[in-house]
Structure formats: structure tokens, C-alpha cells
Chain A
Amino acid sequence: KQEVTQIPAALSVPEGENLVLNCSFTDSAIYNLQWFRQDPGKGLTSLLLIQSSQREQTSGRLNASLDKSSGRSTLYIAASQPGDSATYLCAAETSGSRLTFGEGTQLTVNP
């Protein structure tokens, strides 16, 4: 059974800081690894998807990396802004198009 863990559970940083969110998974037989953003009381918004054959994906100030052999993914956020405050979830897709989610990292960026 796939298990996904995210560290840290919560993170508070000053505006402008670069930061890294971590995600680990137990079963390396994944199709892809995805990062989502969730704002309070809202649904999930897809940020980045890294296919199993890829090492990283970038979108603006966000960069996600994937190391299948070690069962790890990181989400790097450059020059953080208060608008980045949200919960960030990673999810591993395994057979049958099923996503297994981590518990999330709650990020607060202080002005």
C-alpha cells in the first residue's frame, strides 16, 4: 500500500524567503507525482505534475523535483509572497489512476 508523507506539517516564513517542501512515498512504482494547492474552504488546484520518467517540472516561481529511487519529491518556492499562503499537498499516482495524498504542509508567508 502506498503511503505518502509530507514534512513539515506547518511552515511560517517571512516574505521573500525561498523555501522547500518535502514529500516522500513508500512505493516507487508510481506513474507520476503531483503537487496541489488548497486554500481554506476551497478545492484543490493542480500546480505541477512530474511524470515518472521526468526529474523536475517548473512553473513560474515553483520547481518540483522527483527522485523515484529514494521515494522523494520536493517543491521549491522562490521569493515567497503572502499570496502563497495555503496548504500544499503532494499526491502519488499508482495503478488504476488512483492518487494517494500526503497530509499536506500548511504554509504561511508573513508580510
Chain B
Amino acid sequence: NAGVTQTPKFRVLKTGQSMTLLCAQDMNHEYMYWYRQDPGMGLRLIHYSVGEGTTAKGEVPDGYNVSRLKKQNFLLGLESAAPSQTSVYFCASSYHQGGNYGYTFGSGTRLTVV
């Protein structure tokens, strides 16, 4: 099982450029998330999805867009990158069945905006 796969693993962008981060999960999880991790600030939720075709804003959604056209994929887009978006981005998926929960995280994408 691959679990949660993020591509790319590293990327350097110039200010104003756009890019899409891809997250894929093979566990048939309903829920998917995008977080960013910055030094001294922990992980903060950007956007999330509770099922195919749905998306919702998290704590820090500005400057990002997402799409969940297929259950297994969750895309994070940056339309016009800014230096403040330099961060490590983590995708996660989860299941919630009755009283059972399970979260799986990807290995992260390190993005630098210059």
C-alpha cells in the first residue's frame, strides 16, 4: 500500500508563478486535507474535503484553491505564489467509521517561493 503520496517533493517558484500540488491516496478514505507547517507555528489547515466533489476552507485558505474531482485525489493550487507561501505542505486522508478513526499523512512537499 502506498498510503498518501504527494508530488512533487520539492519545488522552487518565482513570485507570481502558479503551481499545483497533487495528493493521491489509495485507502478509499472519504476525508482529505491540506496543511502547511511553518517553524514555530505547528501545522495549520488550509482546505479540506469530506468527500468527492466537496471542499471547505480551513484556518489559512487565502491564496490557495483546491479541487476533489476524484475521491482518491486532492489538488492544492497556488495561483500567484508569494514568499509568504514558502512552507512545507502536508496532505492527509482519514476515515471515520462509527467510533473508529484513522489518519494517514504524506511525506510532505517543501516549497520555496523566491
Contact = CB atoms under 8 A, between A and B. Distances in A.
A98 B58 contact: yes
Interface stretch (A12-20, A71-79, A100-108): A100-108
A97 interface: yes
Interface stretch (B65-73, B77-85, B94-102): B94-102
A86 interface: no
Interface of B: 4, 31, 33, 35, 40-45, 48, 50, 56, 58-59, 90, 92, 94, 96, 99, 101-108
A97 B50 contact: yes
Contacts of B35: 101
A75 to B, nearest CB: 16
A43 interface: yes
A43 to B, nearest CB: 4
Contacts of A46: 102-104
A34 B90 contact: no
B98 to A, nearest CB: 11
Contacts of A42: 107-108
24 contacts: A4-B42, A32-B101, A36-B105, A42-B107, A43-B90, A43-B105, A43-B107, A44-B43, A46-B102, A46-B103, A46-B104, A91-B43, A93-B101, A96-B50, A97-B96, A98-B45, A98-B58, A99-B103, A100-B45, A101-B35, A101-B43, A101-B44, A103-B42, A104-B42
